[in-house]
Amino acid sequence: MAGQKPYYITTPIYYVNDVPHIGHAYTTLACDVLARFMRLDGRDVKFLTGTDEHGQKVEKSAQVAGVDPQTFTDRVSQNFRDLVGAMNYTNDDFIRTTEPRHIEACQALWRVLAEKGEIYLGSYAGWYAVRDEAFYGEDELTTTPTGRKLAPSGAECEWVEEPSYFFRLSAWQDRLLKFYEDNPDFILPPGKRNEVMAFVKSGLRDLSVSRTTFNWGVPVPDDEQHIMYVWLDALTNYITALGYPNTEAGGDYAKYWPADLHMVGKDILRFHAVYWPAFLMAAGLEPPKRVFAHGWWTIEGQKMSKSLGNVVAPDALISTYGLDPTRYFLLREVPFGNDGDFSRRAMVNRLNGDLANDYGNLVQRVLSMIQKNCAAKVPEAGAFTEADQKLLGAAGALLDTVRRELTVQAFHKAIEAIWGVIGDANRYVDEQAPWALRKTDPARMGTVLYVLAETIRRLAILTQPLMPDASAKILDQLAVPAEQRGFDRLAEGQALASGTPLAPPQGVFPRFVEEAGN
């Protein structure tokens, strides 16, 4: 069945030497909204997130904490599991790179690459940034007045010399460029695609894929003096979760691979858009269909940093503003793919403007009028006027618009389209004035309120991926059964049944009132 086409979406796996912040919440939220949307649209979804637990940076963090790396990762990985519950994510799996299934998958991929002659033993001498877990060429570095070498990210680099296995990345330059040309939507947004292509065209060097100076990682098969470079290890998680190396028909790999979307922050695009497809193609495996690199958040105009003390924790946002308003703000405030700034003022404006005044007020006043004037039942609808048909038509066209925008991860445009219809509905209320019709034409009042209730039903079904709890409350108030909330219920001929009893309405989006002194 076409509607059941599988959809596989992943977040990056998060470094466990970090504490979850607004950036982590943002990436996984975008994936959660897509996963929920696709499920409601009849797709068979696999949604993966998890934690990246190997590498020199993690080993050093464990030493600073005075515990062994496994104890450290067990403790800190839990913070990211807790974020899943706090943000109401619906991931189907949570992977940790210290799990036996992942060690097995990494070593299996290594063996395939080695058998195909894509990996060879040499020695590495060059600049390495522990913070980025990345190697850099001399031409990529800047030198401070004190002689420190800094990567483009600002991370300090150190000179490393050690035996190393290398992946023949240089041999993949032309094949990668052809792949990008043949698959123009592989990297989004388009500006990021241009950056990657420029990087590849500038020349690729073979990539060091093992280390010997520390041991917290996946052992290289048949040479346990080496551990795998953390990015070869980390990227493999996307196929580990599908049961790799089992690629047989009937398994998850055969069902879900290639991934429909890897969602990443722009700082790790190179690993996902250059190294990962090269590793996969070298192993005879298909690359993912898309890598989307989103922007970064600043806080009140400043870069988020521990030293400034301005790191925004998701649980602080949720406790202050509520879960669904937080989810709404993060995906509504800036065009997805761009950098964005979090400010309290912008958050409060969205909560009180878009949610309380526009959406919440529409729902509350329509359902209150039905409660008072239509015997607390879905009203009877008479013949629809041109104005009625126009509003219902706008609501009916929304699914195609939202689907089209989310196909290219344009969350802000999808939300704008929904809010466009919310605006249409509020204007329709004012123009039709059902409170006046109550005295002059009660039958017409019933039709107007029916049109509005049906429009709200459609809006609430479509806002479920973004604001699941609030949307459920609205659909509960319209007495829409849980099994009638999929996108199939937006098809022609599907609508509210007149005469359905409705419970007294409850406010869904309260106004946010700042405490005195804030």
Confidence band of 15 (pLDDT split at 50, 70, 90): confident
* E strand or H helix at 211: strand 210-211
Q: Work out the mean pLDDT of the chain and round it to a whole number.
A: 93
The dihedral over CA atoms of 150, 155, 161, 162, expressed in degrees to the nearest 10, equals -160
Confidence band of 307 (pLDDT split at 50, 70, 90): low
Main-chain phi, psi angles of 166, to 5 degrees: -120, 145
Q: Phi-psi bin for 284: left (phi > 0), alpha (psi -120 to 50), beta?
A: left
Main-chain phi, psi angles of 67, to 5 degrees: -135, 165
| Percentage with pLDDT > 90 across the chain | 81
Residue 348 has pLDDT above 80, yes or no: yes
Q: What integer pLDDT is reported at residue 463 of this predicted model?
A: 98
Confidence band of 345 (pLDDT split at 50, 70, 90): very high
* E strand or H helix at 425: helix 411-432
Measure CA 169 to chain center: 29
* DSSP calls for 457-496: HHHHHHTTTT-HHHHHHHHHHTT--GGG-SGGGGSTT--P
Q: What integer pLDDT is reported at residue 306 of this predicted model?
A: 63
Q: What integer pLDDT is reported at residue 362 of this predicted model?
A: 98
pLDDT tens-digit series, residues 199-234: 999 999 999 999 998 889 999 999 989 999 888 999
Question: Between these two residues, 396 and 305, which has the higher pLDDT value?
Answer: 396
Least confident residue range of 266-270, 340-344, 389-393: 340-344
Question: Between these two residues, 127 and 19, which has the higher pLDDT value?
Answer: 127
Mean pLDDT to the nearest integer, 182-208 = 95
Confidence band of 300 (pLDDT split at 50, 70, 90): confident
Mean pLDDT to the nearest integer, 375-395 = 97
Structural domains in the chain, CATH included, are 343-490 (1.10.730.10)
Cα within 13 Å of Cα(452), Cβ side: 30
Q: What integer pLDDT is reported at residue 80 of this predicted model?
A: 93
Cβ–Cβ under 8 Å, residues 216 and 59: yes
Is 67 in a helix, a strand, or coil?
coil
Confidence band of 516 (pLDDT split at 50, 70, 90): low
Confidence band of 388 (pLDDT split at 50, 70, 90): very high
* DSSP calls for 214-238: ---SPBPTT-TT-EE-HHHHHHTHH
Confidence band of 1 (pLDDT split at 50, 70, 90): very low
Least confident residue range of 2-6, 158-162, 391-395: 2-6
Q: What integer pLDDT is reported at residue 70 of this predicted model?
A: 94
pLDDT tens-digit series, residues 108-148: 999 999 999 999 999 888 898 888 888 888 889 999 999 99
| Percentage with pLDDT > 70 across the chain | 97
Confidence band of 295 (pLDDT split at 50, 70, 90): confident
Question: Between these two residues, 19 and 43, which has the higher pLDDT value?
Answer: 43
Confidence band of 515 (pLDDT split at 50, 70, 90): low
Residue 160 has pLDDT above 90, yes or no: no
Q: What integer pLDDT is reported at residue 517 of this predicted model?
A: 46
Q: What integer pLDDT is reported at residue 214 of this predicted model?
A: 87
Confidence band of 310 (pLDDT split at 50, 70, 90): low
Among 26, 32, 37, smallest CA distance to 294 is for 26
Cβ–Cβ under 8 Å, residues 448 and 434: yes
Q: Who contacts 300 (Cβ-Cβ below 8 Å, separation ≥6)?
A: 310, 341, 342, 343, 344
Residue 2 has pLDDT above 80, yes or no: no
Q: What integer pLDDT is reported at residue 162 of this predicted model?
A: 86
pLDDT tens-digit series, residues 456-510: 999 999 999 999 999 999 999 999 999 999 999 999 889 999 999 999 999 999 9
Least confident residue range of 66-75, 267-276, 296-305: 296-305
Mean pLDDT to the nearest integer, 234-254 = 97
Q: What integer pLDDT is reported at residue 108 of this predicted model?
A: 98
Confidence band of 105 (pLDDT split at 50, 70, 90): very high
Q: What integer pLDDT is reported at residue 518 of this predicted model?
A: 47
Residue 289 has pLDDT above 60, yes or no: yes
* DSSP calls for 142-156: EE-TT--EE-TTS-E
Least confident residue range of 70-79, 357-366, 444-453: 70-79
Instruction: Say what the pTM is.
Output: 0.92
Tokens 């070593």 correspond to 107
Q: Who contacts 16 (Cβ-Cβ below 8 Å, separation ≥6)?
A: 51, 52, 53, 58, 72, 73, 76, 77, 80
